[in-house]
C-alpha cells in the first residue's frame, strides 16, 4: 500500500519525469478486416484556429492501423510541424476505441501472400512515426478514449499530453499471438514503476484510465461526458505554449485514485514475482505466491502466461530488460529487428500460428513451436536481437527526444 501511495503524486507529471527514473499495462488482439481502404477516409483531419486534429477513423476495426494510415499520419505530422500557423496537434479515435494496434490480420494475409517487403515497410513507417511523436517540436494531445492496445500506445504515449477517460482500457496482448510489444513499448513499459511493465507485457493484463494516471502513463483524466467541452476549449486556443494547453486540459480534468481491486495495490507482489531474471523463475515465484497466499490473482497471471507463446515470453522479457537502459531510438531499432525476425519463420512460426488460432480459425488452441520454455535455446532468442542487413534508420542527429 505504501508503494501505491508513492505512485499517486505522479499522476500530474509528464513522461519526461517518469522516464528519467530507472526504477522509481486482458484484452483480445485486434480482429480487423483485410482491407486497406482510403487513407484519407481512415485518417480524418479537422482544422482548428491554431491547431489540427488527426482522427483515426476505422471504427468497425477498432481503428487498427494499416500501412496507408501510418504513412498518412507521418506525412501529416511532418507537414504540421513545419507549418508556423499550427501551434499544436491533437489525435483521437472514432467510435469505442482510440486504437487497437496494428491490423494484424492484414499483416498475416500480406505475409502469406509473399509480400514481405510490404510488411517490412509497414514496420519501418510505423516506428519512424513513433520516433517523430517522441521528438515532436509542438505540443501534442492524445485523447485515449476507449480501447488502446499494442501500437496504439506507441503512436500516442510518447507525446506531450495523454488524456484518458472512464472508458479507457490499455493493454499489450502480443504474447498471446506469438509477437512482442513493439512501437516503443519496450521503452514505455520498462520505465513504469517497479516491474509493472514486465507483468503487463507477459500476461497481457489491462489497465483502466485511472490506473494509467496512477502509474504515469497518462497526464490528465477526464470523464468521457466532458470530452466535447474539452475539445471545444482546445479548438479555440490560439497558442503554441505547452503551459496554455496544459491549463485547458486541467480545467476539465479530475483527480482520481485506483479502487481497491486495482492491480496497482499488488505492486509489491508484482515486484517479488516479476523481478526475476528468467521467465521460468517468474513462473516459479508466482506458483509459490499462489500456494502461500491462495490468491486467485496469481492463478490468473499464471494461466495467461501459460497461454502465451513460450518463445515470445523469453523475447519479451529480454526486450523490456534491455529497454530499461536504452533511449527511445535504440528501443525502436531493437524492436524492428525483433519484428522482422519474428515474421521471417526462420526460427519459429509462432506469429502465424497465434494469429491463425485467435483470428482466423478462432479455435484458441495455438500449437506453439517450441511448445515449452525448456526447449528454447539461448541461440533461438539471440536470433531475434541480431542485426539486419537493412536496419531501421532514424534521424537521431536532427531531432532531440521530447522524453
* Domain annotation covers residue 143: yes
DSSP symbols for 211-268: HHHHTTS-SEE--GGGHHHHHHHHHT-----HHHHHHHHHHT-------TT-GGGGHH
* Domain annotation covers residue 303: yes
β-bridge mates for residue 207, sequence order: 170
* Domain annotation covers residue 12: no
* Domain annotation covers residue 390: no
Q: How many domains does the chain have?
A: 1
Instruction: Kindly give the parts of the chain with pLDDT less than 50.
Output: 1-36
Q: What's the pLDDT score for residue 143?
A: 97
CATH classification at residue 176: 3.90.226.10
pLDDT tens for each residue of 87-113: 999 999 999 999 999 999 999 999 999
* Domain annotation covers residue 107: yes
Q: What's the pLDDT score for residue 12?
A: 34
Residue 62 contacts residue 109 (beta carbons within 8 Å): no
Enclosing domain of residue 70: 38-385
* Domain annotation covers residue 320: yes
Query: How far is it, in rounded angstroms, from Cα 179 to Cα 351?
Result: 6
Amino acid at each position: 500500500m505504501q508503494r501505491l501511495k508513492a505512485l499517486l503524486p505522479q499522476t500530474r507529471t509528464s513522461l519526461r519525469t517518469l522516464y528519467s527514473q530507472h526504477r522509481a499495462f486482458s484484452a483480445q488482439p485486434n480482429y480487423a478486416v483485410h482491407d486497406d481502404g482510403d487513407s484519407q477516409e481512415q485518417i480524418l483531419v479537422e482544422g482548428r484556429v491554431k491547431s489540427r486534429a488527426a482522427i483515426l477513423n476505422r471504427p468497425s476495426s477498432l481503428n487498427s492501423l494499416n500501412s496507408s494510415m501510418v504513412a498518412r499520419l507521418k506525412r501529416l505530422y511532418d507537414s504540421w510541424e513545419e507549418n508556423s500557423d499550427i501551434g499544436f496537434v491533437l489525435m483521437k479515435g472514432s467510435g469505442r476505441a482510440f486504437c487497437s494496434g496494428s491490423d494484424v490480420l492484414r499483416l498475416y494475409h500480406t505475409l502469406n501472400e509473399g509480400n514481405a517487403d510490404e510488411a517490412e515497410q509497414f514496420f519501418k513507417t510505423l516506428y519512424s512515426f513513433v520516433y517523430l511523436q517522441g521528438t515532436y517540436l509542438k505540443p501534442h494531445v492524445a485523447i485515449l478514449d476507449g480501447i488502446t492496445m499494442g501500437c496504439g500506445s506507441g503512436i500516442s504515449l510518447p507525446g506531450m499530453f495523454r488524456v484518458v477517460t472512464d472508458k479507457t482500457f490499455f493493454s499489450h496482448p502480443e504474447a498471446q499471438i506469438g509477437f512482442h510489444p513493439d512501437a516503443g513499448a519496450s521503452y514505455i513499459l520498462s520505465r513504469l514503476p517497479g516491474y509493472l511493465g514486465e507483468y503487463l507485457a507477459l500476461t497481457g493484463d489491462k489497465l483502466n484510465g485511472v490506473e494509467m494516471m496512477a502509474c504515469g502513463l497518462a497526464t490528465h483524466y477526464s470523464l468521457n461526458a466532458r470530452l466535447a467541452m474539452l475539445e471545444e476549449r482546445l479548438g479555440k486556443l490560439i497558442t503554441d505554449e505547452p503551459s496554455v494547453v496544459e491549463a485547458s486540459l486541467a480545467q476539465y480534468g479530475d483527480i482520481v485514485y485506483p479502487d481497491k481491486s486495482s492491480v496497482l495495490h499488488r505492486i509489491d507482489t508484482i515486484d517479488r514475482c516479476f523481478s526475476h531474471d528468467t521467465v521460468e523463475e517468474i513462473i516459479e515465484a508466482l506458483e509459490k505466491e499462489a500456494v502461500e497466499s491462495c490468491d486467485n490473482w496469481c492463478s490468473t497471471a499464471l494461466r495467461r502466461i501459460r497461454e502465451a507463446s513460450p518463445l515470445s515470453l523469453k523475447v519479451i522479457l529480454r526486450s523490456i530488460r534491455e529497454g530499461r537502459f536504452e533511449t527511445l531510438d535504440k528501443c525502436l531499432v531493437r524492436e524492428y529487428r525483433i519484428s522482422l525476425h519474428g515474421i521471417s519463420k526462420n526460427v519459429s512460426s509462432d506469429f502465424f500460428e497465434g494469429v491463425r488460432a485467435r483470428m482466423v480459425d478462432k479455435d484458441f488452441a495455438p500449437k506453439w513451436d517450441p511448445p515449452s520454455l525448456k526447449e528454447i535455446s539461448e541461440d533461438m532468442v539471440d536470433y531475434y536481437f541480431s542485426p539486419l542487413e537493412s536496419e531501421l534508420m532514424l534521424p537521431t542527429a536532427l531531432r532531440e527526444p521530447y522524453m
